[in-house]
Amino acid sequence: MSALVQPATARTGIARRARTRVVTFIILVVIVCCLVLLS
């Protein structure tokens, strides 16, 4: 049972890490765009 659960949790952890990376990248792009528009 645990052998089946472990890979699933690892996969969701990787997906969550990739999603947070995408979100932080989008936030950085928005901040840069705002700075370019304001300057």
How high is the pLDDT of residue 15? 82
**Number of folded domains that form the chain:** 1
CA distance linking residue 9 with residue 17, whole number of Å? 12
Q: What is the extent of the structural domain holding 11? A: 1-39
Rounded to 10 degrees, what is the CA torsion of 13, 16, 18, 22? -170
**1-39 confidence digits (pLDDT tens):** 566 667 777 788 888 888 899 999 999 999 999 999 998
**Residue by residue, what is the 3-state secondary structure of the chain?**
CHHHHHHHHHHHHHHHHHHHHHHHHHHHHHHHHHHHHHC
How high is the pLDDT of residue 16? 84
